[in-house]
């Protein structure tokens, strides 16, 4: 009998230890939701998306209900992987992956923790999903920063009607950049223009490739591309003296080196992502059934300073980008 009692007591102690250990992380975190944010690199578009994401959650849950762990990967995919693996080890409640390489790293790290992407152009391309239908499934969802590529290609001919050759400048390491330029190239060729791809691998060879494009093309198009966004000064310093106009995929890039863009609000995009996070964490929404959400509107904008430098008259219907 004493033996039975001893065994029962031991079992009770073990159960108590398990209960204590599983509840420990929440107690240590004061009952707050833990959200890991991995951002590929710092530049205005991604920064705005992160800000919007955090603000939406604070607005819905209150600042005291959540703890954010923000990590910047310094534009390095391997660092993204290191960051998300640490998030998994820390058992965060949700991961927000800002930009395609961050999403890819998070997807490789866990199939259990909910992952929300933002500033990702095309999820089917990013995650290699054939016949993508708008819902990733599993533990992944998010928002897309894709502005209509047919309208972007139309901007090139509207702003530069005499152009016959277009250089498509992009980082070859970014899958969604490749997707964008492929679509725009096809659209331009339908219009009878010669469109040439100018891929670069990183900031080290950007100047050389950009110079080549500027020397051989009438106009340059740059998609929504994180490496471009981080290095707009290089492109501007090459293209402006040569009087080569640049049409950009998003406002941050356009303000740095372009003349016109079809812009979305990355803050609003991040805010939408934050509201999705609340649905998952607070309301128990099934992330596997949530479709990818898109920016509600696109605004045609122009860079006043660059237009003046190139002697280009802005088109009607375009709003000047606010100088900062």
**In the predicted model, is pLDDT for residue 91 greater than 80?**
yes
Nearest 5°: CA angle at 233, between 232 and 237?
120
User: Quick one: average pLDDT of 136-140?
Assistant: 97
Q: Please list, in sequence order, all residues whose beta carbon lies within 8 angstroms of the beta carbon of residue 137, skipping any fewer than 6 positions away.
A: 288
Mean pLDDT (the chain) is: 91
Q: Is a pLDDT exceeding 60 seen at residue 273?
A: yes
Structure tokens at 38: 């991995």
Parallel, antiparallel or unpaired: strands 115-120 and 140-144: parallel
Q: Which of 75, 73, 1 is nearest to 37 (CA)?
A: 73
pLDDT greater at residue 71 or residue 16: 71
State the number of CA atoms in the 13 A half-sphere of 249 facing the CB: 31
Residues 52, 108: Cα–Cα separation, whole Å: 25
Q: Is the pLDDT of residue 141 over 60?
A: yes
Closest CA to 298 of 320, 272, 266, 257: 266
Task: Identify whether the C-beta of residue 231 lies closer than 8 Å to the C-beta of residue 206.
Answer: yes
Who's near 228: CB < 8 A, 6+ residues apart? 169, 170, 171, 177, 206, 222, 235, 253
Closest Cα to residue 201, out of 223, 169, 248?
169
pLDDT tier for residue 295 given thresholds of 50, 70 and 90: confident
Classified as helix, coil or strand, 227 is helix
pLDDT tens, position by position, 177-232: 999 999 999 999 999 999 999 999 999 999 999 999 999 999 999 999 999 999 99
Where does the pLDDT of residue 147 fall: very low under 50, low under 70, confident under 90, or very high at 90 and above? confident
Q: What is the pLDDT of residue 29?
A: 59
Higher-confidence position of 7 and 250: 250
Write down the pLDDT at residue 108. 98
Going by C-alpha positions, the residue among 173, 174, 213, 178 that lies closest to residue 196 is 213
pLDDT band for position 324 (cuts 50, 70, 90): low
pLDDT, residue 323, reads: 79
Helix 100-109 with 77-89: angle, nearest 10 deg: 40
Question: Distance from first CA to last CA of the chain, Å, rounded?
Answer: 80
């Amino acid at each position: 009998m004493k033996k039975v009692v001893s065994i029962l007591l031991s079992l009770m102690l073990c159960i108590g230890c398990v209960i204590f250990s599983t509840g420990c992380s929440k107690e240590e975190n004061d009952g707050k939701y833990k959200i890991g944010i991995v951002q590929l690199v710092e530049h205005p578009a991604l920064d705005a998306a992160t800000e919007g994401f955090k603000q939406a959650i604070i607005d819905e849950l209150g600042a005291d209900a959540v703890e954010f762990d923000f990590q910047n990967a310094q534009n390095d995919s391997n660092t993204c992987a290191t960051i998300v693996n640490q998030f998994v080890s820390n058992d965060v409640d949700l991961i927000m992956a800002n930009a395609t390489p961050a999403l890819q790293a998070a997807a490789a790290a866990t199939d259990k923790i909910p992952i929300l992407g933002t500033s990702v152009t095309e999820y089917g391309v990013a995650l290699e999903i054939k016949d993508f239908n708008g819902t990733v499934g599993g533990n992944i969802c998010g928002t897309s920063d894709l502005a209509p590529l047919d309208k972007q290609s139309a901007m090139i001919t509207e702003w530069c009607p005499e152009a016959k050759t277009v250089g498509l400048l992009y980082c070859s390491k970014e899958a969604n950049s490749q997707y964008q330029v492929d679509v725009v190239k096809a659209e331009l060729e339908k219009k009878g223009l010669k469109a040439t791809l100018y891929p670069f691998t990183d900031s080290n060879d950007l100047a050389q490739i950009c110079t080549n494009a500027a020397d051989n093309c009438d106009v340059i198009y740059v998609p929504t591309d994180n490496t471009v966004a981080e290095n707009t000064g290089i492109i501007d310093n090459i293209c402006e003296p040569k009087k080569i106009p640049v049409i950009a995929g998003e406002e941050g890039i356009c303000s740095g080196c372009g003349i016109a863009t079809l812009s979305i609000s990355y803050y609003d995009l991040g805010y939408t992502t934050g509201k999705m996070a609340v649905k998952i964490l607070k309301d128990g929404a099934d992330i596997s059934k949530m479709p990818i959400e898109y920016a509600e509107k696109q605004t045609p904008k122009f860079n006043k300073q660059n237009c003046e430098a190139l002697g280009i008259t802005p088109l009607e219907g375009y709003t000047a980008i606010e100088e900062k």
